[in-house]
Amino acid sequence: MTGSALHVHDLTVALGGRPVVRRVDLTVRTGEFVTVLGGNGSGKSTLVRAALGLVPATSGEVELLGSPLPRFRDWHRVGYVPQRTSAASGVPATVREVVTSGRLAHRRLLRRLARRDHAAVDAALDAVDLSDRAGDSVAELSGGQQQRVLIARALVTDPDLLVLDEPTAGVDLPHQNLLSEVLESHSARGVAIVLVAHELGPLDRLVDRAVVLRDGRVVFDGSPGDATTTAAPHHHAHGDGTPGGDVLGPGWADRP
Amino acid sequence: MSLLSYEFMQRALVAALLTGLAAPAIGTYLVQKRLALLGDGIGHVALTGVALGLLTGQAPLVTAVIVAVAGAAVIELLRLRGRASGDVALALFFYGGIAGGVLLTGLAGGSAATLNGYLFGAITTVSDAELVLVVALTALVLLVGLGLSPQLFAVCQDEEHARVSGLPVAVYSMLVAVLAAVTVTVAMRTVGLLLVSALMVVPVATAQQVARGFRLTLLLAMGIGVVASLAGVWTSFEAGTAPGPTIVLLALLGFAVASPVGGLLRRRRRVHAPFEPAPHGHDVAETHPHVHGPGCGHVAVEHGDHVDYVHDGHRHVPHDDHYDEH
């Protein structure tokens, strides 16, 4: 299938023998901004992780940027923000070092960083407003700042497909607005964006399409405005009683 | 210096220098992966390798390298496949390795005392042939550990992100485990299998007290490792102590000194970090006879286009004939 940044067909993923994503079809066109919504345990995170090859699919097919996943090699065209609460590891690393590691798909073995790598790192740091913290240890930053480091690490590869798994958890409103501007400019440049979230906040206005997952199945796929009316009653009709199981999250329910 | 006139001391110093370089280099990646005790696990496995050498009449260093590498590979496989968490996989090998080592040594007609030289190091008995092997293995560890540092950093920092960057994560993880195994066997003759992990972890822990970045931590840890190893050998020669434990205790002493220094540095950075520029109302400070200025004794912190003077929980800014609270 041409013209699609991400194409998932009949995808089933089982974790530990339990089906978590069930027969999902999803196509994200070039330049499209799609959000995958759903409550905790709805399978939204597993869906994108399987689409990127991070968890094996039980059955079904995935195409990334026009190539079947097993043959896909153009990883420099994919930016990924994993779901993390911290960007730190056991050894200190500076903000710049972590962001630079996002550039690896562009680098050959045993080569030094090229000038355009440095420029990309500077631009990514600037985009998330962390240029003045470049030399600081990521562990010393607040949770929201660390989240922005992870976003910069995904932007630095100059992706055609950007996958973000709950990137705004712990990010304050001014910086959610900043992120929304960054994503808007990437979206305008034709970057396909897949955003996993349970509430959208300021990103709401950018979304072309919303896909709502419930218990591993797609229960809604369409205009984000309709997601509230279509999916929410569905949720109430089959409420599973899990805490935080509100399909669309408070950001949606409270909308006028 | 008199100790350089002994050939066995020359070999000891070379072995110490190489161990001091290699152990912290690979140890940095282990600490980053939060697998600081991997070196210990491999050390125990290597003991079985040593015993196998004693039993079959092969050079213990060679059989130890082979068994340790195989053991490290299995530990990593268990971890990658999710069969056992890192620490549980390690625990299984701790016990199996040391039990196998003692059992096989017994079969070879030796006693636990035979193993002492391997458990705690016997750097002054390093032979020429062993030194050649130590040099070759250290060169391998340093070439790979430093040459592939961007890739290894990415894999140890965030495995999932590294996979989406197209890196063969399983290969690199295995490489780190194998390099750790090689380093452990190299360090076996210097500090011994029971103490080798100290030389992989303590210099890193010391370096990260003062360093903010990965690269600096790595290089600083290698420097600390070299100083501790060489100073340890020298001290043990002068004071007549066992070299392995002397090296480790010196490394720990370094940590004890660096830790409060690191605490002070972090506090200093925190106190002097600029305040967020934000609009303020006009909040006049109470009568304040003290005159703030450069060198007035209070901490001056950047705040947008001006400077706040911090004292007793207040942030004072000169304004006409009074001070504002910011």
- Rounded to the nearest 10 degrees, the angle between the axes of helix A143-155 and helix A173-188 is 10
pLDDT in tens, A104-159: 999 888 888 999 999 999 999 999 999 999 999 999 898 889 999 999 999 999 99
Higher pLDDT, A225 or A241: A225
> Is the model's pLDDT at A78 over the cut of 80?
yes
Of A207, A256, A215, A249, which Cα lies nearest the Cα of A232? A249
Q: ipTM of the assembly? A: 0.87
Among A72, A91, A108, most B C-beta atoms within 10 A, so best to mutate, is A91
* pLDDT tens per residue across all 326 residues of chain B: 577 888 889 999 999 999 999 999 999 999 999 888 888 889 999 999 999 999 999 989 899 999 999 999 988 888 877 766 667 777 888 889 989 999 999 998 877 777 888 888 888 888 898 899 889 999 999 999 999 999 999 999 999 999 999 999 999 999 999 999 999 988 888 889 988 899 999 999 999 999 999 999 999 999 999 999 999 999 999 999 999 999 999 999 999 999 999 989 888 877 877 777 666 667 887 777 788 887 788 888 888 788 888 887 788 888 888 888 88
**Pairwise CB contact (< 8 Å): B215 & A107:** no
Q: Considering only CB atoms, which chain B residues are within 8 Å of A163? A: 164
Of B32, B211, B266, the CB nearest to A89: B32
* Nearest CB to A153; choose among B161, B166, B213: B161
The reply to whether B213 touches chain A by the CB within 8 Å rule is yes
Residue A240: predicted pLDDT: 42
pLDDT grade for A253, boundaries at 50, 70 and 90: very low
Tell me, what's the pLDDT at B80? Answer: 79
Q: What is the CA radius of gyration of chain A?
A: 18
**Long-range contacts (CB closer than 8 Å, 24 or more residues apart) made by A124-133:** A124/A99, A124/A152, A124/A153, A124/A155, A124/A156, A125/A95, A125/A96, A125/A99, A125/A152, A127/A152, A127/A155, A127/A182, A128/A152, A128/A155, A128/A175, A128/A178, A128/A179, A128/A182, A129/A175, A129/A178, A130/A95, A133/A95
Report the percentage of chain A scoring pLDDT > 90: 67
Any A CB within 8 A of B37 CB: no
Give the bridge partners for A64, in sequence order: A6, A67
pLDDT for residue B30: 95
- Is A90 close to B32, i.e. CB distance below 8 A? yes
- What was the pLDDT predicted at B198? 93
pLDDT of residue B272: 79
Q: Give the CA distances from residue A239 to residues A231, B196, B309, in Å, rounded to whole numbers and listed in that order.
A: 12, 57, 56
Q: Does B170 contact chain A (CB < 8 Å)? A: no
pLDDT digits (tens, 9 = 90+) for A189-206: 999 999 999 888 888 889
Q: Residue B236 is encoded by which pair of tokens?
A: 């043990």
- Residue A169's pLDDT is what? 81
Asked if B67 contacts B58 with a C-beta cutoff of 8 angstroms, the reply is no
Contact (Cβ atoms closer than 8 angstroms) between residue A32 and residue A209: yes
Helix (H) or strand (E) segment spanning residue B288: none
| Position A52 pLDDT exceeds 70 | yes
Q: Of all helices (H) and strands (E), which one includes residue B161?
A: helix B159-164
| Structure confidence at residue A245 (pLDDT) | 39
- How near does any CA of chain B get to the CA of A243, in Å? 28
CA dist B211 → B55, B190, B203, B291 (Å): 46, 27, 12, 36
Nearest CA in chain B to A109: B148
Q: What pLDDT does B93 receive?
A: 83
Q: Chain A within 8 Å of B147 (Cβ-Cβ)? A: yes
- Token output for B126: 């390093």
DSSP one-letter string for A50-81:
HHTTSS--SEEEEEETTEEGGG---GGGEEEE
Mean pLDDT along residues A238-246: 41
- Give the SS3 label for residue B209: helix
Tokens 């705040």 locate to B303
Torsion of CA A220, A223, A224, A226, to 10 degrees: -70
pTM: 0.86
Backbone angles phi, psi at B302, to 5 degrees: -60, 135
Question: What tens digit of pLDDT does each residue of B210-265 get?
Answer: 999 999 999 999 999 999 999 999 999 999 999 999 999 999 999 999 999 998 98
B164 interfaces chain A, CB cutoff of 8 Å: yes
Mean pLDDT over all residues of chain A?
A: 87
The one-letter amino acid at B43: G
State yes or no: pLDDT of A248 exceeds 60.
Answer: no
Element holding A170 (H helix, E strand): none
Instruction: Give residues with Cβ within 8 angstroms of B60, minimum separation 6.
Output: B49, B50, B53, B54, B118
pLDDT reading at A252 higher than 80: no
User: Are A62 and A68 in contact, with CB atoms under 8 Å apart?
Assistant: yes
List the alpha helices (DSSP H) in chain A. 44-51, 95-101, 115-127, 143-155, 173-188, 224-237, 250-253
Give the single-character DSSP code of A113: P
Check CB contact under 8 Å for A109 and B36: no
Distance from CA of B161 to the nearest CA of A (A): 7
Q: Does B211 touch chain A (CB under 8 A)?
A: yes
State the nearest Cα–Cα gap between A110 and chain B, in angstroms. 6
Q: What's the token pair of residue B43?
A: 């050390």
Please give the Cα distance from B199 to B27 (Å, whole number): 8
Q: What is the mean pLDDT of residues A217-222?
A: 93
**The pair of three-digit structure tokens given for residue A22, joined into one six-digit string:** 């069930």
pLDDT at A228: 59
pLDDT score of B296: 84
Higher pLDDT among residues A81 and B84, named by residue: A81
Place of tokens 């979304």: A207
DSSP state of B4: G
